[in-house]
Amino acid sequence: MSNYTVESTIVQTRDGAKLRTRLFKPMEEGEITDNLVVVLVHPFSILGGCQAFLQGIAAGLAGKGYKTVTFDMRGAGKSTGRPSLTGFAEIKDVIAVCKWVCENLSSDRILLVGSSAGAPIAGSAVDGIKEVIGYVSIGYPFGMFASILFGRHHKGILKSPKPKLFVMGTRDGFTSVKQLQKKLSSAAGRVETHLIEGTSHFQMEGAEFDNQMVNLILTFISSL
């Protein structure tokens, strides 16, 4: 039997995109740990990324007492609109969902978690949302070729003073460990890294890593 429930809704952005959104929450209100809400941002829409990639993590966090939100960015899944190649239009999607969280879930504390291309998109939104108190990246594409698309996002998260955790596999095909360390050497505020030995970029998106991601996120939350 599941220890969480799922509710669906539509969140509309300022420019009119309608985003399919799901709220994962503990089965009983008394099981909610605190008013912090985790918002998960999925991988690259153009390569088939959607909120379904993150349902295992969302379910795991809800089962541990945290309300967690997933959503399909514009043009992904059944959300309206068109996805952008560089992810800048999708920043509006993250902001709209976080606004919905604050208005509908009585929360003034949000942890943003981005997976793959969702990491630079979420990172660019961090300082535009005052309720965001921390950020977790799962496989941020800092490498040379990925930077052709997402390089202009780097500055947003690197200059943010908010606490940050970067999770990456040591065999990530988009970013080497050396590239990650070089980028983060100039980052502001508190920065943590967690390297998963022998793991590739797309492996980390698999369900077999969901429990590990949940535990890393929970540990990070406890330090905020």
* Domains located in the chain, CATH noted: 2-220 (3.40.50.1820)
pLDDT per residue of the chain (224 residues) written in tens, 0 to 9: 678 999 999 999 999 999 999 999 998 766 666 789 999 999 999 999 999 999 999 999 999 999 999 999 999 999 999 999 999 999 999 999 999 999 999 899 999 999 999 999 999 999 999 999 999 999 999 998 899 999 999 999 999 999 999 999 999 999 999 999 999 999 999 999 999 999 999 999 899 999 999 999 999 999 99
Question: Quick one: pLDDT at residue 29?
Answer: 67
Residue 28: its pLDDT value, please?
A: 73
Beta strands in 163-210 (DSSP E): 164-169, 191-196
79/178 Cα distance (integer angstroms): 37
How far apart are the C-alpha atoms of 206 and 150, rounded to whole Å? Answer: 23
Tokens of 207: 């369900």
pLDDT score for 2:
79
| Contact residues for 130 (Cβ-Cβ < 8 A; gap 6+) | none
pLDDT at site 34: 78
Contact predicate 207/171, CB 8 Å: no
What 3-state DSSP class applies to 160?
coil
How high is the pLDDT of residue 202? Answer: 94
Q: How far apart are CA 28 and CA 50, in angstroms?
A: 28
Cβ pair 63, 217 in contact under 8 A: no
Q: For residue 2, with 0-12 CB atoms within 10 Å meaning exposed, 13-18 middle and 19 or more buried, which class applies?
A: exposed
- DSSP tag of 66: -
Residue range 23-55, pLDDT digits in tens: 999 987 666 667 899 999 999 999 999 999 999
Residue for token pair 């005052």: 130
Asked if residues 224 and 134 have their Cβ atoms less than 8 Å apart, the reply is yes
**How far is 175 from 86, CA to CA, in rounded Å?**
17
Work out the mean pLDDT of the chain and round it to a whole number. 95
Predicted local confidence at residue 31, as pLDDT: 61
Task: Tell me the HSE value of 212 on the side-chain side, using a 13 A CA sphere.
Answer: 16
The predicted structure's pLDDT at residue 87? 96
For residue 1, what pLDDT is reported? 61
Q: What is the DSSP letter of 40?
A: E
